[in-house]
Amino acid sequence: MSVTLVLGEDAIGQRLDKALVDAFARSEAHESLSRSQLARAFAAGEVRIAGRKVKASFRLEAAGVCVELRVPAPAPLAHARPEAIPLTVVHEDASLLVLDKPAGMVVHAGPGHDSGTLVNAVLHHLQVHADALPVLPGNGPERPGVVHRLDKDTSGLIVFARGLRAQTVLAEQFRDHSIDRAYLGVVLGRPSFERRRLETTHGRDPADRRRFAPDQGTRRAVTTMEVLRPLGAHAALARFTLETGRTHQIRMHARMVGHPIFADPLYGRRPKHPALRRLADGLGRHALHAALLGFAHPDGSGRLVLEAPLPPELAALVAALEAI
């Protein structure tokens, strides 16, 4: 990606890297720019002012500065390799595999995660190499069999395809939102409502590019949040049903209604109550679990609906919160 940007008065005194991220977030003419993309551009000497290379720490002294930027393509990731990692298999047949992913495990390789992924474990379980499983158009060889993903610290149900037809049929259902998906989450505070349908837009948060915000972008994000029961005086157990499946959608919407997912460091806040702080610090993950997954089976045999209970650490959290 190559682009030229003219920075305005609001960039004066800022570091160039921050000024560029902010400028891209506001621009309707360009795609958003991630911090990793920008870091690659600076490292490769591909950020220039008046033809001269500049560093990320360069501070602007005037408005109207023209910045030329080219983002190098990331180094390609290698094919995934089988690794002997334990799996919890919820359903398996000739077309697909449904797993209960533990928190702390990424789905596929990426920067900083070239092994120990769910894909590595799936390849070992199926006793196949990566080229035996299909890859969706636009994805790399590090994603064999992948149809969708869960955040690293979200546990729960995820489906892998064993063949191209199964992957194609499942991916179409995700695209047209005919998949049934429900999550259980512990939220901070006790909501005043029992059920609320949350429909917003979804885009990068200009205040923190790692997050998404409900007042940015143009893509729809729709979640129904149902409060199942209070957990003591300071938390509640909620069910989140997805109509769309945007990145961080539930975490974004929980933050929006003022009841973030418990122990979510990106979208939440650290509890003030000492006992809650201890629970959050000791949990080692955020309290969100993909509890239900339903879809039309690719072989035409009917609809498959699967459920996974809360993992032990979240069940223990629920019990501990009920006592506070």
Q: Where are the domains of the chain?
A: 2-70, 89-175, 180-322
Question: Domain 2-70: which topology?
Answer: 3.10.290
Q: What is the pLDDT of residues 294-319, one digit of tens each?
A: 999 999 999 999 999 999 999 999 99
Distance, in Å, from the CA atom of 251 to the CA atom of 209, rounded to the nearest integer, reads 15
The answer to whether 2-70 and 180-322 have equal CATH topology is no
Alpha helix segments (H runs only) across 95-136: 118-126
CA angle 81, 87, 93 (to 5 degrees): 90
Q: CA gyration radius for the chain?
A: 22
Distance, in Å, from the CA atom of 104 to the CA atom of 116, rounded to the nearest integer, reads 10
* Chain centroid, CA 271 distance in Å: 23
For residue 194, the SS3 value is coil
Distance, in Å, from the CA atom of 123 to the CA atom of 87, rounded to the nearest integer, reads 11
Q: Is the pTM of this model over 0.85?
A: no
Structure tokens at 74: 């990331």
Distance, in Å, from the CA atom of 187 to the CA atom of 88, rounded to the nearest integer, reads 26
Residue among 91, 153, 87 at smallest CA distance from 119:
87
Q: Do residues 152 and 261 touch, judged by C-beta distance below 8 A?
A: no
Distance, in Å, from the CA atom of 92 to the CA atom of 304, rounded to the nearest integer, reads 11
Distance, in Å, from the CA atom of 271 to the CA atom of 259, rounded to the nearest integer, reads 11
- Selected residue with higher pLDDT from 113 and 281: 281
Q: What is the pLDDT of residues 139-194, one digit of tens each?
A: 888 899 999 999 999 999 999 999 999 999 999 999 999 999 999 999 999 999 99
Answer yes or no: 131 catalytic: no
CATH of the domain spanning 89-175: 3.30.2350.10
What whole-number percentage of the chain has pLDDT above 90?
73
- Sheet with 65-70, strands from edge to edge, namely 2-7, 65-70, 47-49, 52-53
Distance, in Å, from the CA atom of 95 to the CA atom of 124, rounded to the nearest integer, reads 17
- Selected residue with higher pLDDT from 13 and 156: 156
For residue 165, the SS3 value is helix
CATH of the domain spanning 180-322: 3.30.2350.10
Q: What is the pLDDT of residues 73-125, one digit of tens each?
A: 665 556 789 999 999 999 999 999 999 999 999 999 887 778 899 999 999 99
Q: What is the pLDDT of residues 259-275, one digit of tens each?
A: 999 999 999 999 999 99
Burial of residue 31 (number of CB atoms within 10 Å: 0-12, 13-18, 19+)? exposed
pLDDT, mean over the chain: 92
Q: In one letter, which amino acid is 71?
A: V
Distance, in Å, from the CA atom of 232 to the CA atom of 230, rounded to the nearest integer, reads 6
What is the secondary structure of 289-315 as a DSSP string? EEEEEEEE-TTSS-EEEEE-PPPHHHH
Annotated catalytic residue within 151, 153, 205, 264:
151
Distance, in Å, from the CA atom of 182 to the CA atom of 195, rounded to the nearest integer, reads 14
